[in-house]
Amino acid sequence: MISNRELFLKNTAQTSNSPRLIEVERVEGIYLYGPDGQRYMDLVSGFNVSNIGHRHPKVLAAIHQQLEKFMHVTVYGEFVQAPQVELATALLDVLPKKYGSVYFTNSGAEAVEGSMKVAKKYTGRREIIAAKKAYHGSTQGALSLIGNEEYRTAYAPLLPEVSFIDYNDLSDLEKISERTAAVIVEAIQGEAGVRVPSKEYMQALRKRCDETGALLIFDEIQTGFGRTGKLFAFEHFDIVPDILMLAKGIGGGMPLGAFIAPKEVMDVIKDNPMLGHITTFGGHPVSCAAAKASLKVIQEENLLSQVNEKANLFRTELDIPQIKEIRGLGLMMCLQLENFDQVYAVSNYCAEKGIIIDWYLHCETALRIAPPLTISMDEIQEACKIIREAIVKFC
């Protein structure tokens, strides 16, 4: 009989020539289980999604409750759906007062698309500035902002009037001008290999946007929901962006994204033309119910207060000379090795031993570590033992 692995390769679209091919039968907490009883510790949280672990019981309960009431009923923005309203209210409650309106999407890339449209319409300007080495998603608009030419040229032509600045470089901020509709940056550059900007840089960026009237848009799609030890990473810099983009961890494992703006900014998409930015499934009620429960778990289980202690344990356990540097903030980390061969060999060895780590799209010398915030101290020690073993073997 043809196996699922063979059918996966044959019948589902492939995004590379070297998929990881781990077969998943069920998941629980920080573990994935294969059909033959293999157990894998998920040290990347399904790529920064499962911040509270997989299938958290409170998220499952919220999903079941919502399933009993309704799933999809109509396109976004027409009917009053309690899960959307309650989640928007809960998000605005934990955010600075400046924000007043939440637009729900299905994904991160859609949050990026919507934010760009709002910024252009609100400012009446056309130029968007992004950062070199950025990653914001794979739709054509989001792809236009990717700070890696190889990825852009393969799918050209993309959006016009997009230009790039060096991330975390004060001297490049002068490129932001009265022509700029928005500057879109990740709060911490993830796929670039976890590049944490300085507070001085972020504050200067905020100031330059204020001076020129450009909107500052933060991509917190990887950094959001406690990953860095604060609910949102912008809190580390003592600034507030104009538009905040969320996805991944927001849904507690369900597909959901959002962009959040002051009310008067968001309101520009209401008319001229009416229905100029709509979505069928954005803010799906089951996803919103899961997201509300997930946010409550982060708050009630005090997950934020444990992040630094857990991150420090990783750093202590992985303090070996073969690792050139450990970059990151909180539980968004990367281990710097020397080359991709080492990264590839180490991540494969770890997978064989039941530890899932990975690499970053635009930094081939870095290993990705971003475990669920619920990981225990014992589990960190267990995982680090295997990672050390792999690094000593291959580096």
Binding footprint of ligand PLP on the chain (CB under 6 A)? 107-109, 135-137, 186, 190, 219, 221-222, 247
The minimum distance between CB 245 and ligand PLP, in angstroms, equals 7
Cβ proximity to ligand PLP, 233 vs 384, nearer residue: 233
Tokens of 331: 């539980």
Tokens of 343: 């990264």
The residue written with tokens 């291959």 in the block is 394
Closest by CA position to 202, among listed 286, 264, 131, 145 = 131
| Minimum distance from residue 107 beta carbon to ligand PLP (Å) | 4
> For residues 43 and 380, which CB has a smaller minimum distance to ligand PLP in the complex?
43
Min dist. Cβ of residue 239 to ligand PLP (A)? 18
Residue 28 phi/psi, 5-degree rounding, is: -160, 125
| Sheet with 101-105, side-by-side order of all strands | 101-105, 257-261, 243-246, 215-219, 180-186, 127-131, 162-165
Q: How far is the CB of 246 from ligand PLP (least distance, A)?
A: 10
CB 34 within 8 A of CB 24: yes
Of 190 and 252, which CB lies nearer to ligand PLP in the complex structure?
Answer: 190
Distance CA 90, CA 86 (A): 6
- Amino acid present at 324: K
Which is nearer to ligand PLP, 362 or 384 (by Cβ)?
362
Q: Would you say 252 or 384 has its CB closer to ligand PLP?
A: 252
273: preceding bond cis by omega (within 30 degrees): yes
Give the residue at shortest CB distance from ligand PLP.
108
Instruction: Please say which residue, 190 or 283, places its beta carbon nearer to ligand PLP.
Output: 190
Cβ atoms of 225 and 249 closer than 8 Å: yes
Helix, strand, or coil here: 40? strand
**Beta strands at 31-33 and 26-28: parallel, antiparallel or unpaired:** antiparallel
Return the number of the residue (219 or 358) whose C-beta is nearest ligand PLP. 219
Neighbour tally for 368: CB within 10 Å: 27
Shortest spacing between CB 361 and ligand PLP, in angstroms: 8
Shortest spacing between CB 353 and ligand PLP, in angstroms: 26
- Least distance in angstroms from the C-beta of 229 to ligand PLP: 18
Q: Tokens 């890339």, residue?
A: 109
